[in-house]
A and B are shown apart, each in its own frame.
Chain A
Amino acid sequence: MLVTVGVLTAVAMTAVAGATMLASAAWPGRAPAAAILLWQALGLGWGLAAVGALAALAARPAHAGVAGGVLAFAGDAVRQAAEPAKGPTALTAFRVACLVLAVALLALLCWVLAAACAAVVRTRRRHRALLALLARGDPKVPGALVLDHPAAAAYCLPGLRSRIVVSAGTLDLLDQAELAAVLAHERAHVRERHDLVLLPFTALCRAFPRAGVAVRAQHAVALLVEMLADDRARRARPARELATALMRFGVAGATAAPSGALAAAQADSQGDVAARVARLLEPQPGLAPPLWAGICCSAILLVVVPAALFVIPL
């Protein structure tokens, strides 16, 4: 069982190290879809390996896999509790502690994900209800709602009953072609459910708000889904329109920036808009097929290895 613990710990540490490297890597902008896949694998692999390593410490040695070992240990512990004459040993106490930690970590991860989903559903419901009262349609932006506010904003409210919203300020800021490009971008978000991609990383960020790597992961994935939507919009509209729309938004947004919380958010999103503009105006070549294959294999290994160790004994 010690080999299993070692491998799982190694996978968990590799995932953290890989996340740190990926956060500062240059290639994700060239292949946002592959980078998102790798981020997902890093997150899932880390979770499985961390929970698995703790559970494996508790598992009875030389038994089938982490899952079987944990069950056997739980059975032993219950039997031992029924015969208090033998008394618990220090080793048993250590194992119980590991098992409790493993269950606690698993529960925390599931809970923050559920809480994040619930919060998002609540916020969206209120937002949608308010939009129904406040927003109007406009022939300049077919299929989108217009909110009467002078500041520039364009966003989508994803979900089963999705909405795409632009502010009146946006209608003044952008020309017809740029508006169409922005709408294409937002439609890509809605169609491909990019919000679901981002949600687990947002939840992880809330679970470990002080872990720099979780915050960087959330930020990186948020930027990658924007780039992915830019790429989709570029299929339908010239990249130039989207790029000028982004630049106009950036220039207009800075003067209208409101609250204090935003200042902190701005600090870590420094350069995001500029990076998106740059890759729209000067497209970089995509990744070479061998690199693609390498990324996919790493992603698969990161998830399959810890998952397999739950059932296969080492």
Chain B
Amino acid sequence: MDVLWDTAGPLTVREVSERLAERELAHTTVMTVLDRLAKKGFAQRERDGRAWQYRPAASREAYVTELMLSALDQAGDRQAALASFARSVTDSEARALRSALEAFEDRTGD
């Protein structure tokens, strides 16, 4: 997947294998992995003559943002698929926490 993300255009299985040459992966292994990525919807593929060409369905940043949003938006969707350490707080609460933290650090700093 990193190879697909690091390349601008779509890649065939052979091109991906060449870019992973140092890993010495079998052609069929690369093909299986790309096929699986396409089935999961993370890569899109299109026919180019006799070979499939693969491109990422979304950028790496888009996926990271998706994960972070579901982590931060915990309380919003009420789905409870994952458990965040701390929900986000309101501005007034943050101010109170900041002063509490400063007071606490002053006390332990002595």
B85 partner, pick from A157, A186, A195, beta carbons under 8 A: A186
Interface segment out of the listed B6-14, B16-24, B44-52, B95-103? B95-103
- A208 vs B16: C-alpha distance when bound (angstroms): 50
User: Binding site of A, secondary structure by majority: helix, strand, loop or mixed?
Assistant: helix
11 A-B interface contacts by CB (under 8 A): A134-B63, A149-B64, A222-B80, A245-B85, A257-B88, A265-B75, A266-B88, A269-B89, A272-B89, A273-B86, A273-B97
Decide if B80 touches A127 in the complex (CB within 8 Å): no
A265 partner, pick from B76, B80, B98, beta carbons under 8 A: B76
Binding site for A on B (CB under 8 A): 1, 40, 42, 60, 63-91, 93-94, 96-98, 100-101, 104-105, 108
Q: Which B residues touch A257, using CB under 8 A?
A: 72, 88
Decide if B83 touches A253 in the complex (CB within 8 Å): no
Nearest residue in B to A125 (C-beta to C-beta)?
Answer: B40
Decide if A119 touches B72 in the complex (CB within 8 Å): no
Task: Please give the distance in Å from A22's CB to the nearest CB on chain B.
Answer: 19
- A189 vs B100: C-alpha distance when bound (angstroms): 27
- A131 vs B82: C-alpha distance when bound (angstroms): 13
A247 partner, pick from B64, B82, B97, beta carbons under 8 A: B97
Task: Please give the distance in Å from B40's CB to the nearest CB on chain A.
Answer: 6
User: Binding site of B, secondary structure by majority: helix, strand, loop or mixed?
Assistant: helix
Report the count of interface residues on A (CB-CB < 8 A).
71
- A107 vs B79: C-alpha distance when bound (angstroms): 20
**Given A194-B83, A247-B101, residue A151 in contact with residue B93 (CB < 8 A):** no
A262 partner, pick from B75, B78, B82, B93, beta carbons under 8 A: B75
Task: Please give the distance in Å from B46's CB to the nearest CB on chain A.
Answer: 21
A133-B1, A151-B72, A253-B89 known; 17 new pairs, CB 8 Å cut-off, are A120-B81, A127-B81, A149-B64, A156-B82, A157-B81, A165-B71, A167-B71, A249-B86, A250-B97, A254-B89, A256-B88, A257-B88, A262-B72, A264-B76, A268-B75, A274-B96, A276-B86
Decide if A270 touches B83 in the complex (CB within 8 Å): no
Q: Which B residues touch A274, using CB under 8 A?
A: 89, 93, 96-97, 100
B87 partner, pick from A120, A127, A157, A273, beta carbons under 8 A: A273
**Given A129-B42, A130-B67, residue A155 in contact with residue B97 (CB < 8 A):** no
- A265 vs B42: C-alpha distance when bound (angstroms): 30
Decide if A120 touches B76 in the complex (CB within 8 Å): no
Decide if B79 touches A123 in the complex (CB within 8 Å): yes
Chain A residues 225-250 with CB under 8 Å of chain B are: 225-226, 240, 243-250
Task: Please give the distance in Å from A265's CB to the nearest CB on chain B.
Answer: 4
Nearest residue in B to A252 (C-beta to C-beta)?
Answer: B94
Nearest residue in B to A131 (C-beta to C-beta)?
Answer: B67
Nearest residue in A to B86 (C-beta to C-beta)?
Answer: A249
Decide if B73 touches A250 in the complex (CB within 8 Å): no
Binary per-residue interface labels of chain A (198-240) against chain B in the complex, 1 for a CB within 8 Å, 0 otherwise:
1100100110000000000010001001100000000000001
Q: Which B residues touch A156, using CB under 8 A?
A: 82-83
Q: Which B residues touch A202, using CB under 8 A?
A: 78-80
Q: Which of A127, A205, A251, A257 has the most CB of B within 10 A?
A: A251
7 closest cross-chain pairs (CB), A and B: A254-B94, A265-B75, A154-B85, A123-B81, A261-B76, A247-B101, A250-B97
A182 within 8 A of B: yes
Decide if B72 touches A253 in the complex (CB within 8 Å): yes
A148 within 8 A of B: yes
B88 partner, pick from A123, A182, A253, beta carbons under 8 A: A253
Decide if A269 touches B87 in the complex (CB within 8 Å): yes
Nearest residue in A to B70 (C-beta to C-beta)?
Answer: A127
Task: Please give the distance in Å from B82's CB to the nearest CB on chain A.
Answer: 5
Q: Which A residues touch B69, using CB under 8 A?
A: 258-259
Decide if B83 touches A195 in the complex (CB within 8 Å): yes
Decide if B101 touches A189 in the complex (CB within 8 Å): no
